[in-house]
Structure formats: structure tokens, C-alpha cells
Amino acid sequence: MGKYSIGEFEEVVLLAVAILFENAYGISIKKEIENRLDRKVSVGAMRTALNRLEDKGYLESEFGEATAIRGGKRKRFFKVTPYGKMALEKVMETRKQLWEAIPAIAFDFKFV
């Protein structure tokens, strides 16, 4: 992976943030992943991933408005940085290269 180190779950979170664009905060990201990928996401796990992504510089965040539903607490909105975009592209590219390197016969299961 070189200098763009990113885990599978982190990748998913990063992509979800990109999809949601200006509406990416804790709960919406969680929902997005749960709906699209049909998997359960815990608040703690997602938070850990978001923090790490921010530490690595793939994400940046700012505070939004406070609402009553959140007990008067502000949201933190996330945005993918250009650096984050490069990381995602790099990941996709490596995958692609790997796929192309697979000989056709390897996945030819007909006569096995």
C-alpha cells in the first residue's frame, strides 16, 4: 500500500463520507454504510475509524449546528481531503492491477 495506509473499514467510511458530501456526520455515515453495505456498524468502531482517518489527514471536520434531538450537542461534519482522494484512488488502482494480473484460467471453475 506504500504511504497510503488504509484499512478495509476505513476505506468504506471514507467512501461513505465522500458519497454524503456536505451531510457527512456520525449518524448519517453510520446509516449510509448500514443501508448500502447491509452490515451493522457500531458507533465506537466508526468513531475510531473517523479519528484515525482524520489523524492520517484523509478527512477534515468542522462543527455544525446544535439540535434538540441531539440533546443540544453540535454535529461534527466530515469532508474528504484531496490527500484522502489520492489514497482512495491508489487503493482502487492497486486492486485493479491485482485483478488484471490474475490469469483467466485461475477463475475458470467449470471443469474442476
Residue 2 or 44 having the CB closest to other proteins: 44
Nearest approach in angstroms of CB 79 to other proteins is: 15
Residue 52 or 90 having the CB closest to other proteins: 52
Q: Could you give the CA distance from residue 101 to residue 45 in angstroms, rounded to a whole number?
A: 34
Q: Could you give the CA distance from residue 76 to residue 22 in angstroms, rounded to a whole number?
A: 11
Q: Specify the residue for cell string 461534519.
A: 77
Q: How far is CA 98 from CA 82, 94, 95, in A?
A: 24, 6, 5
Q: Could you give the CA distance from residue 53 to residue 30 in angstroms, rounded to a whole number?
A: 15
Stretch that binds other proteins, among 4-12, 40-48, 90-98, 100-108 (CB under 8 A): 40-48
Nearest approach in angstroms of CB 16 to other proteins is: 15
Q: Interface mask (CB under 8 A) for other proteins, residues 77-106, using x and -?
A: ------------------------------
| Sign of the torsion angle spanned by Cα atoms 38, 42, 46, 49 | negative
Site residues for other proteins per CB under 8 A = 25-27, 30, 42-45, 47-48, 51-52, 63, 66, 68-71, 73-76
